[in-house]
Amino acid sequence: MTDQPTLMVAGPPPESPARTRPPARAAVRIGLVQERWHPDSAEHEAALAAGVRLAASEGARIVCLQELTLSPYFAITPDGPRAVGAEPEELSSGPTLAFARRLAAETGAYVHASLYERADGPDGPDGLGYNTAIVAAPDGRLVQRTRKLHIPVTAGYYEDRYFRPGPADGDPFPLIELPVLGGGAPARLGCPTCWDQWFPELARAYSLAGADVLIYPTAIGSEPDHPAFDTEPLWQRVITANGIANGTFMVAVNRIGVEGPITFYGSSFISDPYGRILVQAPRDQPAVLVADLDLDQRRDWLELFPFLRTRRPDAYGSLVDARAGSGLIAAAGQRQRVVAGEGCADRERRVGGDRSEGGGERVRDQADDASCDDLPAAFVRQLDREQVRLGVENVAVEGGERDSHREERSGVDRRGEMVALSLLEVGRHQIGRERQDTDPQQQRQIQHEDHVVGLAQAADHRVMVDPDDPDREERGRVGDVARPHLRQGMTQILVGVGVRDGDVQHQQRRRDCEHAVREGL
């Protein structure tokens, strides 16, 4: 038996403090349904349908449902769809669109839903599909289909093993025009999905297209590798902030309940262009939210703070440079001084230490003798003996201080260097730790940390070599061995990096490393 959802109806829209003239459009009423996953499909559909009917009975013109509406959140394992029995569905003939159409026809409201859409790759079926949001009209038309653009790759959210990114060609930011009762121009709605909500570029693109409202079907909760880190406040903050920066209402529809290692934290909400939460659901209970959106608050706010008119597109070239992300990571890493052991005081410029002392050669020789599986341990043993002779210049950029050797290193593969810097930041932080802890779980975590340090040193050995170095080809073998480890084992390795509970700085450092490996090698 399903729990009865709590109906939560927002009061009248709050005053628009930037308003200088009467609104030209009537308000639009929007609803959402927050639910858990029910293993019995009939029970699950009944719970969602009850929520849609309740919202529609309160006058909602559109009712929004959670990500993967009729499915469990199956991307909790990296094993892929076949291993977990996840089957993509045909959009036009599948159960999700049929469900949305049926409820739209019954209630007279538009129904928004989300599904795992079948989509073969260019070379035929490859097991991946699209994560797709749809909107069905009361007359049965499919009036919106938007494929998720950004795909997360992190512990418990292994979506790259299930979904391909939505195509960037054509119109990746489509809008639906929702007629407004009472007259005036229609409400313009965009329907991105979950991970998309973290990207300011996406919200800006929708706003430039004229979106009034962004609807994010969502499946987010605990972090399996950091169970004490509650990301819910950050999640809410980034969505409302993107709404402020772009003059949009935001509708975030999360799920609740426990599925595998994830406890979904609900907290679905609707916010306005001023960042005010109009109504919000509990973290762990089914709920139906309904709110009136004063659409011309967007106009009022963007007239007072004209973000769109005062942009500088001519200065934003790096935003569309696929290589630019690694540079940002390196810049962030340079702002943090090395926190390791006394052995790091000299900060040698060349990898593996001062060549006159043979430090670099000893690391290389040991790595060359190691098998692919033994490589990380070999590097860690060398690092332990040498303390932290990591050999990378890491001059802090503080108070205008600059890296005095930047020009001298101009011939080096900068992008690879940036990857190494990000990885080494983790290594530096962890290398000074005691390794005598008797807790088996702690020992496993330390082993993961050691693996990261070793791979970081291997990557650094590869990319910090002078192009004119006669031994460059031989040294490159180390990186060639490390590279597949870094790519294929990125998530499994880095999820074990030690992060103190609640320490957001260390959490971000780990995510920077993940991004660097994914984008850089």
Rounded distance, CA 305 to CA 252, Å? 24
Distances (CA, A) of 382 to 340, 387, 482, 487: 16, 8, 16, 23
- Please give the Cα distance from 344 to 338 (Å, whole number): 8
Determine phi and psi for 250, rounding to 5 degrees: -120, 135
Q: Identify the CA nearest to 447 among candidates 513, 344, 343, 376.
A: 376
Using alpha carbons, select from 384, 246, 344, 341 the residue that is nearest to residue 302: 246
What is the residue type of 424?
L
Catalytic residue numbers, as ranges: 67, 148, 194
The dihedral through the CA atoms of 377, 383, 384, 388 has a sign that is negative
First to last CA, the chain: 50
| Nearest-10 Cα torsion for 333, 337, 341, 342 | 140
Of 216, 222, 284, the closest CA to residue 250 belongs to 216
d(CA 182, CA 199): 34
3-state secondary structure of 62: strand
* CB-based contact 242:197 (threshold 8 Å): yes
Q: Beta-carbon neighbour count of residue 477 at 10 Å?
A: 14
CB-based burial, 321-342: b 16+ in 10 Å, e otherwise: eeeebbeebbebbbebebebee
Best CA proximity match to 174, nearest among 148, 137, 140, 150: 148
Bridge partners of 30?
A: 62, 291
Q: What letter would DSSP give residue 303? A: H
> What residues pair up with 98 in beta bridges, in sequence order?
none
The total number of residues shown for the chain amounts to 521
The token pair that represents 411 in the structure block: 């011939």
- For residue 375, what are its two tokens? 């490589």
Structure tokens at 442: 């702690």
What b/e string do you get for 455-476 counting C-beta neighbours within 10 Å, with b at 16 or more?
bbbbbbbbbbbeeeeeeeeebe
Identify whether the C-beta of residue 352 lies closer than 8 Å to the C-beta of residue 359: yes
Can you tell me the distance from the alpha carbon of 329 to that of 162, in angstroms, rounded to the nearest whole number? 27
Is residue 135 helix, strand or coil? strand
Please answer whether residues 264 and 238 qualify as being in contact, where contact means their C-beta atoms are separated by less than 8 angstroms: no
